[in-house]
């Protein structure tokens, strides 16, 4: 009888452990069409996992320490398609487009990407003003040039990392007229839009994000905002219009200068005359 009880207890314990392991969040990595999935435990147990210190963490606004894996170690360089980007998709619909040369760097003289992994036994603090942490998976940057990495290139709550064609190749409806000179500021605005805005918004139905509205269809913001109000809205949305469900953050001068906001607005104004069909 005692043996039967003990056996039942062991089975119950193993079942609980199994369910906990099965319930552990996973991140999916797709490189050149080949997909792998990693749990928190599997990543934390890797021999290349290390404790890293981030002096200027974008999501938390302070210095942070993480257990993390070098992103370059997770990427199979031999399978990386030419002219591709790494798309980081988050659970909230955020989708960052990360240049491949940026995410592959291992040189501490530049910016080096690390996939921070939240340890279930030592959960991270909640994000400022949010009911959740940046976990379970968060892309952070260290190295001499880490401060130059744009705020939207620090995606948190990542569910999937996947190689994709470059945004201009994947979504031709984002493009400006090919006849536009290479030095035209509108091209710089397009590049900024892809990095800073496409992570949350679509334009002409193009993009992977599901967080914010399309910024050209049916109407472009330049069509219903006064110029000064639009620039102020991009800088700090809450200063113009605020509501409980607002998710768009404010951008400091370090994250987006006045000149860069002007370039994004110029691109939007240009695209207002190049609308896709609804």
Give me the tens of pLDDT residue by residue for the chain, a chain 278 residues long: 545 544 444 444 445 444 444 578 999 999 988 999 999 999 999 999 999 999 999 999 999 999 999 999 998 776 778 789 999 999 999 999 999 999 999 999 999 999 999 999 999 999 998 899 999 999 999 999 999 999 999 999 999 999 999 999 999 999 999 999 999 999 999 999 999 999 999 999 999 998 999 999 999 999 999 999 999 999 999 999 888 888 899 999 999 999 999 999 999 999 999 999 87
Whole-angstrom distance, CA of residue 86 vs CA of residue 102: 10
Greatest alpha-carbon pair distance for the chain in Å reads 85
Percentages (nearest 5) of helix, strand, coil residues in the chain: 35, 20, 45
What domains are there in the chain, each with its CATH number? 25-165 (3.90.420.10), 169-271 (2.60.40.420)
Q: What pLDDT sits at residue 81?
A: 80
pTM given for the model: 0.88
Decide: residue 223, CB within 10 A, 0-12 exposed, 13-18 middle, 19+ buried: exposed
Q: Which residues touch 24 (CB under 8 Å, ≥6 apart)?
A: 39, 40, 41, 120
Q: What pLDDT sits at residue 157?
A: 98
């Amino acid at each position: 009888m005692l043996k039967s009880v003990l056996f039942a207890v062991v089975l119950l314990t193993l079942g609980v452990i199994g369910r906990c392991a099965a319930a552990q969040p996973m991140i999916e990595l797709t490189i050149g069409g080949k997909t792998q999935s990693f749990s928190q435990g599997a990543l934390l147990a890797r021999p290349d996992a290390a404790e890293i210190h981030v002096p200027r963490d974008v999501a938390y606004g302070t210095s942070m320490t993480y257990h993390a894996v070098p992103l370059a170690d997770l990427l199979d360089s031999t399978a990386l398609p030419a002219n591709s980007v790494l798309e980081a998709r988050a659970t909230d619909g955020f989708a960052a487009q990360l240049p491949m040369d940026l995410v592959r760097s291992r040189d501490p003289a530049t910016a080096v990407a690390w996939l921070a992994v939240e340890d279930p036994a030592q959960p991270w603090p909640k994000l400022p003003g949010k009911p959740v942490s940046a976990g379970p998976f968060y892309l952070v940057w260290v190295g001499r040039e880490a401060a130059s990495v744009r705020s939207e290139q620090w995606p948190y709550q990542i569910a999937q990392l996947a190689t994709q064609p470059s945004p201009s190749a994947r979504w031709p409806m984002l493009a400006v007229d090919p006849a536009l000179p290479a030095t035209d500021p509108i091209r710089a605005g397009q590049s900024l839009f892809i990095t800073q805005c496409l992570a949350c918004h679509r334009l002409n139905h193009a993009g992977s994000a599901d967080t914010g509205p399309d910024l050209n269809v049916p109407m472009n913001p330049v069509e219903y905002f006064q110029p000064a109000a639009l620039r102020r809205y991009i800088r700090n949305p809450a200063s113009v219009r605020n509501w409980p469900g607002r998710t768009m953050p404010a951008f400091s001068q370090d994250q987006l200068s006045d000149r860069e906001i002007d370039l994004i607005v110029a691109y939007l104004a240009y695209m207002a005359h190049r609308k896709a069909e609804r």
